[in-house]
Structure 1
């Protein structure tokens, strides 16, 4: 019996139903991301809710631990603590909070405050500059300090070497009361304790100014400081920050003004600096730099600090009656170093007096003798006895180039002064020192080596041919009619820590050569020792015409501080001028006898020998007897071994003077090389031989001893 297939049976030709479409990979990834995002938002919302409800107080200990690990410091909160979002800004509140200093610091805490209440932009903690929408700080104490090596500071939170500049956050509104800042830099030997005026701002407005005041010590000098931020509303917004500051130290007033890109950024910012005071030396002494004393000064400059360099440019001002301009760079490295280029249009002679140790105020009021006495020199002495600042000179180095257009002096015209100074670990070199004097040129070198004890000092001064009329115009010599010139050299070496001591022990030679020319005096009383009077007494005529000079040499040999004539020999048309004796750098006594022997017979010539006596400070002229002439210099301890000069008659001149052979004279040769016009050795001049007596003879000579 046949069966029938069910109706729903699948025939071989039947098509299966279509499968559901597969889910795309993108959609699957989106679903996963959406789920994660929803979960993250939910988690953040949950965290936010938990923090908002609990105010985050439970994070106090974790905060101390995490902050301590990140800063490598001990962080503590002694009172209430809150850390949460309110609603989108982070609220941070802490009482009796403190952050420790590293172990090498001299104070235990970098920061401490009774209370901090702040609203912080969250993303600013991760990117860019930290941004505080609001900051309430009560009784904060901040301690900022560098280590001795200057490679670490307390505000750089790193165990590696290297101190970063202080970077303050941007603050929109603030209430700051009772806050103090301490700053210490051992390399600069700077310590400052500052107090901030109370700051209260609302609506992003602080007011007209914020003040900072305090005191401190720079090296060994105490100072006070007062500063004001004139545009604090712009400052908190990191705009233009107009800062003015005044500091007082050691009788000096320093004003600083400038525009800062941020409150804590000084480096690379041009600042206008002005300083005034009674003595510029006291200002530089603050940083351990020694310069000669000055009178009242006023200076202005632009200051830019870059790393260890402090560059003062566009410097201009005055000291005493002199002007000063140029630049100065102070490098505060391993050794303090000064590099400067200065210009002066006119330097007053009184302001130049400190360069050899005189106090310019005393020179101006009482004269050079009183100024020398103030340095410790014996009464009536002229050479200063001020000691070189040995210890200070060995602590810093310096390079100086200084041009002075004119030196204002009553008697000797000096101009075009160029000075090059180099100080290296206590060795001071002035080389070259050049200037124009009465249309002549002077070049000098001086070395003060304080590394040796006592200091080794060398002087080398060279005078190029110089017109005598212009050089001696202030001393009674007429420019008109004087055609003679003079050239010379002073070369001395001594030991001592004062100018007086270095010369009192000096040895060397002093020589001035007079080539052919004419000398005419006006006999005008213009100095203590008037050259016009001197020449008037030396020659028989009344100087109605100039004295004609063939050649001349005024020279001294210096041994152990005593200078003996070697020789004094001037050959004129009518006379031969001879001299013997000397002077002492030790006692500053002068004892020189000079005579003019006529070349022709002259009855009643009136040519008595002339003596120069007294001291450097008070020289005087005396008419000598022939007997005293041969003993010139005895009181100075000079043993003159040359044959005594020919006997002289007080009123009758036999006219047998031997003319000089000018070759050795013009060559500045010593007495041993001098010859008469006939080539014979001269034995009528001092030969420079000296014997220093420990105790001078009691017998008075020329009224000096």
Structure 2
């Protein structure tokens, strides 16, 4: 019987595995040697030939990738030296897209560089060495910022400009042109020669040039410096000074690279003759100011330019806060400001005055400078209608105190909104003489001419504090005044809007007292007035029961409706009015005694002239007539008879205070016995002038009784 065959040994099956592995490793080694040999051959060929034969393929391939025409007019080199990429070209040019205003994005007489190979594939481009001679860079945005010249893409979209990291550089004769149609900014800059090593610029690099921002030309001088301690590769200290008109702007900061501006805090300082000229450069209209000095931190993020930690002065006033300018489809300005002390002269521009002229020559001269007629006080400066329609704004401004010689004003709170040409100062509030004023003022330039409205409310305010600058003593004065002005008109200036205004003005005096330091004109009793002039003090204050000074305004003419003040001794009434059109005043005020007075002129006092130069005439025709009658009686009779011409029998009808305190018009006024009053102005304007009453009414009122 045959012996059985031995079973195959399973463990011996892979006996040939080590030779197989050796064959695989041998193949891999040979392949690697072939690849290395091929790479070495390519390196050697490039090194020997300097890659000059790649000139035309380089122009074609790079042109296709960038969608631009790329040309090298002179020598060309592209090879590894030994592991860095050596790239050199003479007469290199890269075209701009067809929409650009200049044909070339980049041109240079000569460029020599060493490039980190992996940086072409990953991360930021890095140059170990860059030598650039007579380079010219043209950077331009599309008007809608959907593309720019340095973003190499067939699709829309513009990336921010980013320079490569450069370890060592030698740059001479370089110019940079930058155009942004949305900002309306054009800058043409020349870069001084650059020498740098290890991401540090040994000497300051200067940049000088000129340009135009909107319609304003400017010059700029800047320096790029290495900081004393380099905090990041390529970080440079920027110092820039720009001159635009009468304005000087200084900017300093540390840039992570030459073009890295976005998100970088920059310290800015600005000074000049008029802040409105500075903001006018970017198309923002504000009232003009006196000489200003401001500083702030600027951070640009996308379309927003944020100025924070803002502080400084304009004229004799201070300001602090924050401001943001958004450069979108419409320029948008938003700000929150605070002022500790505002000089009243610096507030003049808010109603159209030039503050420099106000400070030097007064309000009348400032009004004349706006085009107002001689002897006018209201400014005739037109609103910048075209500019107001180009930008929007929101402003909140608080002012602690206003420095004024006559009227104490504090705690001002202004909210301003400009939207599509509609300017609203609403609400506007402030404290005046321990009282409060609230106002809403609107100029709507969307209607032509502008539709303007004024709504001003005065809360109860102490007369002693309010009129302290006009001779009223605070001590002993307990009277208060409250009131409201509601007017609406059409016009592009304060004067025009008021000259066409219609509405009502009313100021109410509740019960109280008033003590005058200089002259007791409110009582208008000549005996008391003469006593006041010589003794310079009164024995007691004027006791007011109630009072109303009201005017009805039609087509810019205000007529008394009514003027009625009831005191313990007299009833003060008035007729006439004033005109916003020609700024004339024509008022007659008289006081009829309630009690018998042996020596009383009680003659109407005439207030005339203009807003700029009002006149007060105490010696009226009625008083002269009484004086003549008294003199005649003294001659033909006795001296005692002469006094009879000045006797007041005291028949004045006391006023019912209800309609007075309600601010009602003249038709609603009554005596204490309920009878209608016929001795007050009824709001009827003059037919032959702007004085507010007809000649017949004035003659009756001023006539001798």
Q: Is the 8 A contact 1:234 1:240 kept in 2?
A: no
Q: How far apart in 2 are the matches of 1:153 and 1:349?
A: 49
SS at structure 1 position matched to 2:405: coil
The residue aligned with 2:389 is 394
The residue aligned with 1:229 is 224
**Structure 1 residues 534 and 115: CA distance shift in structure 2, 3 A:** same
Q: How far apart in 2 are the matches of 1:469 and 1:584?
A: 28
Q: Give how far 1:205 is off.
A: 5.9
Q: Which runs of 5+ in 1 are unaligned?
A: 1-10, 524-531, 630-648
**Structure 1 residues 180 and 237: CA distance shift in structure 2, 3 A:** farther
The residue aligned with 1:529 is none
Question: For 2:621, which of 615, 622, 625 is the aligned residue?
Answer: 625
The residue aligned with 2:629 is none
Question: For 1:311, which of 306, 315, 328 is the aligned residue?
Answer: 306
Q: How far apart in 2 are the matches of 1:325 and 1:451?
A: 32
Q: Give how far 1:32 is off.
A: 2.9
The residue aligned with 1:93 is 88
Q: How far apart in 1 are the matches of 2:84 and 2:240?
A: 36
The residue aligned with 2:16 is 22
CA-to-aligned-CA distance 1:265-306 (integer Å, 9 cap, x gap): 111111111111111111100100011111111111111111
- 2:485 is equivalent to residue 490 of structure 1: yes
Question: For 1:383, which of 378, 390, 395 is the aligned residue?
Answer: 378
Q: How far apart in 2 are the matches of 1:55 and 1:234?
A: 39
Q: Is the 8 A contact 2:523 2:570 kept in 1?
A: no
Q: How far apart in 2 are the matches of 1:255 and 1:249?
A: 11
Q: Is the 8 A contact 1:562 1:692 kept in 2?
A: no
**1:205-244 pair list within 5 angstroms:** 206-231=201-226, 238-244=233-239
- 2:611 is equivalent to residue 616 of structure 1: yes
**Structure 1 residues 235 and 199: CA distance shift in structure 2, 3 A:** farther
- 2:337 is equivalent to residue 342 of structure 1: yes
- 2:601 is equivalent to residue 603 of structure 1: no
Q: Is the 8 A contact 1:335 1:397 kept in 2?
A: yes
The residue aligned with 1:61 is 56
Q: Give how far 1:238 is off.
A: 2.2
Q: How far apart in 1 are the matches of 2:257 and 2:230?
A: 7
Larger deviation, residues 505-514 vs 86-95: 86-95
Q: How far apart in 2 are the matches of 1:125 and 1:234?
A: 29
- 2:347 is equivalent to residue 360 of structure 1: no
**1:639-654 pair list within 5 angstroms:** 651-654=646-649
CA-to-aligned-CA distance 1:303-334 (integer Å, 9 cap, x gap): 11110001111111111110000000111111
Larger deviation, residues 97-106 vs 556-565: 97-106
SS at structure 1 position matched to 2:465: helix
- 2:419 is equivalent to residue 409 of structure 1: no
Q: How far apart in 1 are the matches of 2:177 and 2:22?
A: 62
Q: Is the 8 A contact 2:525 2:600 kept in 1?
A: no
Q: Give how far 1:654 is off.
A: 2.6
Q: How far apart in 2 are the matches of 1:603 and 1:293?
A: 58
Q: Is the 8 A contact 1:562 1:584 kept in 2?
A: yes
SS at structure 1 position matched to 2:143: coil
Q: How far apart in 2 are the matches of 1:19 and 1:667?
A: 120
CA-to-aligned-CA distance 1:587-637 (integer Å, 9 cap, x gap): 1000000000001222331221101010001111113234999xxxxxxxx
Question: For 1:686, which of 665, 678, 681 is the aligned residue?
Answer: 681
SS at structure 1 position matched to 2:522: helix
Q: Give how far 1:544 is off.
A: 2.5
CA-to-aligned-CA distance 1:397-435 (integer Å, 9 cap, x gap): 000000000000001111000000000011001111111
Q: Which runs of 5+ in 2 are unaligned?
A: 532-537, 626-643, 700-705
With normalisation by structure 2, the TM-score equals: 0.90
* Structure with more helix by fraction: 2
The residue aligned with 1:179 is 174
The residue aligned with 2:67 is 72
SS at structure 1 position matched to 2:600: coil
Q: Give how far 1:695 is off.
A: 9.9
CA-to-aligned-CA distance 1:195-238 (integer Å, 9 cap, x gap): 10012346776423111111100011111111111118988972
Q: How far apart in 2 are the matches of 1:212 and 1:294?
A: 32
The residue aligned with 1:142 is 137
Q: How far apart in 1 are the matches of 2:411 and 2:16?
A: 100
Q: Give how far 1:393 is off.
A: 0.6
Question: For 2:123, which of 123, 128, 146 is the aligned residue?
Answer: 128
SS at structure 2 position matched to 1:129: coil
**Structure 1 residues 88 and 394: CA distance shift in structure 2, 3 A:** same
- 2:369 is equivalent to residue 374 of structure 1: yes
Q: Give how far 1:658 is off.
A: 0.4
Question: For 1:200, which of 195, 200, 219 is the aligned residue?
Answer: 195
The residue aligned with 1:535 is 522
RMSD: 2.6
With normalisation by structure 1, the TM-score equals: 0.90
**Structure 1 residues 291 and 340: CA distance shift in structure 2, 3 A:** same
CA-to-aligned-CA distance 1:63-107 (integer Å, 9 cap, x gap): 000000110111011111111111111111111110011111111
CA-to-aligned-CA distance 1:135-155 (integer Å, 9 cap, x gap): 111110000111011111111
Question: For 2:276, which of 258, 281, 288 is the aligned residue?
Answer: 281
Q: How far apart in 2 are the matches of 1:547 and 1:695?
A: 32
The residue aligned with 1:569 is 564
Q: Is the 8 A contact 2:93 2:108 kept in 1?
A: yes
Q: How far apart in 2 are the matches of 1:95 and 1:236?
A: 35
Q: How far apart in 2 are the matches of 1:416 and 1:20?
A: 98
Larger deviation, residues 83-92 vs 454-463: 83-92
Q: Is the 8 A contact 1:206 1:232 kept in 2?
A: no
The residue aligned with 1:33 is 28
Q: Is the 8 A contact 1:274 1:299 kept in 2?
A: yes
Q: Is the 8 A contact 2:195 2:203 kept in 1?
A: no
The residue aligned with 2:459 is 464
**Structure 1 residues 19 and 315: CA distance shift in structure 2, 3 A:** closer
Q: Is the 8 A contact 1:105 1:145 kept in 2?
A: yes
Q: Is the 8 A contact 1:205 1:233 kept in 2?
A: no
- 2:514 is equivalent to residue 519 of structure 1: yes
**Structure 1 residues 533 and 667: CA distance shift in structure 2, 3 A:** same
Q: How far apart in 2 are the matches of 1:378 and 1:20?
A: 116
Q: Give how far 1:174 is off.
A: 1.4
Q: How far apart in 2 are the matches of 1:12 and 1:436?
A: 124
